A and B are shown apart, each in its own frame.
Chain A
């Protein structure tokens, strides 16, 4: 079953062919929905001096305009702060922060990734250096079609 161009409707009379064209395309798209909802494989690093690309990167298959970034950390960062790299370019958002238990800080930010086309893949990693050592949880990286932080 292949995708068929959908008709432009200029008349209130629709033939069975037109209706079946829509029906067939709905079936086509349903066949392209994944079987599952996959999780974000979070990353928790305890008592480390830094986090960088070689701790892990994540790949995003682009669909929505905004990448939502949630990171929780415990410790003091050096002046360069918390950064998010998209395809090796520092794309750090304006972070909003809030206190969390254990004297931690929750960093939330949204990066505009609308320059990619649907289906493009890009890599993301988190970079930070602690003043001494610290603990970090990369909680999620998620695309969504809203620039307001999710959750």
Chain B
């Protein structure tokens, strides 16, 4: 598995083409293939009959450079609501920086998939790549209703449309040795490989917001001890609160590992969990919130 993305230097007309440079291109495409074909968990979603506030639906996003649009999908069932549905952006400390009204006085059956353009690297804050911020959805109270939030995504595009599929099959990326002569099949593998990944990934980037553990959500008491389930794909666990990393089936042979003791974003090196290998499923239990990241940030 290629675990790092490195682009080769730009190719120049008239320059010698090295095996090393082509192998860098092969590794870059193989890395992208690994990311695009990895298992993908369902998104955090909420279904609730409780008013959503800053205390019961905190979503956290790690900002990606150039991603200034927030896409959302929401729905109201059964009864009307009086008041506004808002998306509120805050700092990691919870200080409000902007709010956007999605709908005023939504009627039963209202649903919307849309986006807000925040501008200026998230509401003018000039956030750097990798910085964290929070979002929450704010709804008015009511009775006999259910409100759904399906996802919140940061994106570099106002549209999440996918292009017409290229229909390519994945081709293992070529390895080159010094003195190799180019072969059309080996070169075509770059076109096929990139087209294959493009079909999966699409035109617009989607950088998901991650919801708190359900026991800190709108049905907190009813959803106590829910926890978070991961496929281990990235080296660092970033989390808030304290809890345990638990083997999903056998905690006797594979003892749990305690993590954290403070209510602030904390980074944990998952290589310290002796039984955990890439691709394994594990659970995080007790923490307020958690996700994996490629770098400690």
**B178 in contact (CB, < 8 A):** no
- Interface residue from A12, A31, A123 paired with B205 (Cβ < 8 Å): A31
Asked whether B45 lies within 8 Å of A19 as measured between CB atoms, the reply is no
Q: Could you say which residues of chain A place their CB within 8 Å of the CB of B44?
A: 38, 41, 58
For the complex formed, measure the closest distance between the CB of B50 and the CB atoms of chain A, giving whole angstroms. 12
A22 to B294: give the CA distance in the assembly, Å: 24
CB of A12, distance to nearest CB on chain B (Å): 4
> Given the complex, which residues of B lie within 8 Å of A68, measured CB to CB?
39
* Contacts beyond the supplied A23-B8, A41-B213: 17 A-B pairs with Cβ under 8 Å: A6-B194, A12-B182, A12-B183, A16-B11, A16-B13, A16-B15, A30-B32, A36-B234, A37-B38, A37-B293, A40-B42, A46-B225, A58-B42, A61-B43, A63-B200, A117-B162, A144-B39
Q: Is there an interface contact between A142 and B182, defined as CB atoms closer than 8 Å?
A: no
30 CB < 8 A contacts A-B: A7-B191, A9-B191, A14-B187, A15-B13, A23-B7, A23-B11, A29-B32, A29-B198, A30-B5, A30-B7, A33-B35, A33-B205, A35-B64, A35-B130, A37-B293, A39-B284, A54-B146, A56-B45, A56-B47, A57-B47, A57-B148, A58-B42, A58-B43, A59-B42, A60-B40, A118-B199, A121-B150, A137-B226, A140-B229, A140-B281
B191 and A27 form a contact (CB under 8 A): no
Flag whether A139 is at the interface (Cβ < 8 A).
yes
Interface flag for B88 (CB, 8 Å): no
Q: Mark A110-124, 1 if CB is under 8 A from B, else 0.
A: 000000011101011
Select from chain A the residue with minimum beta-carbon distance to B156: A31
The CA of A70 and the CA of B229, in the complex, are separated in Å by: 11
Select from chain B the residue with minimum beta-carbon distance to A10.
B184
- Complex CA distance for A46 and B122, rounded to whole angstroms: 40
* Interface check A11, CB cutoff 8 A: yes
**Do B228 and A42 touch across chains, with their CB atoms under 8 A apart?**
yes
Contacts of B219 on A, CB cut-off 8 Å? 55-56
Which A residue's beta carbon lies closest to that of B199? A118
Is the CB of A148 closer than 8 A to any CB of chain B? no
**Is residue A44 within 8 Å, beta carbon to beta carbon, of the partner chain?**
yes
The answer to whether A26 touches B130 (Cβ under 8 A) is no
How many B residues, CB 8 Å from partner?
95
Q: Are B281's CB and A150's CB within 8 A?
A: yes
8 Å CB interface, B156-201 against A: 156, 160-163, 165, 181-184, 187-188, 190-191, 194-195, 197-201
| Closest A residue by C-beta to B150 | A59
A151 sits at the interface (CB 8 A): yes
Residues of chain B with a CB closer than 8 A to A150's CB: 39, 231, 281
**A43 contacts B223, C-beta separation under 8 Å:** yes
Q: Complex: how many Å from CA A8 to CA B293?
A: 36
Binding site for A on B (CB under 8 A): 5, 7-8, 10-13, 15, 17, 25, 28-29, 31-32, 35-47, 49, 62-64, 66, 73, 130, 146, 148, 150-151, 156, 160-163, 165, 181-184, 187-188, 190-191, 194-195, 197-208, 210-211, 213-214, 219, 222-231, 233-234, 238, 248-249, 280-281, 283-284, 290-294
With CB as the reference atom, state the residue of chain B lying closest to A123: B150
Count contacts on A: residues with CB < 8 A to the other chain.
Answer: 67
Q: Which residues of A contact B (CB under 8 A)?
A: 3, 6-16, 19-20, 22-23, 25-27, 29-46, 53-61, 63-64, 68, 70, 100, 117-119, 121, 123-124, 137, 139-145, 150-151
Give the distance to chain B from A34, nearest Cβ to Cβ, in Å: 5
Contact B226 A42 (CB under 8 A): yes
Complex formed: what's the CA distance from A150 to B233 in Å? 14
Contact (Cβ within 8 A) B10 A20: yes
A143 pairs with B40, CB closer than 8 A: yes
A118–B49 Cα gap in the complex (Å)?
31
Q: Which 5 A-B pairs have the closest CB atoms?
A: A39-B228, A37-B292, A6-B191, A58-B42, A19-B11
Choose from B45, B194, B230 the contact partner of A39 (Cβ within 8 Å): B230
Contacts A25-B198, A32-B201, A37-B230; is A55 near B191 (CB within 8 Å)?
A: no
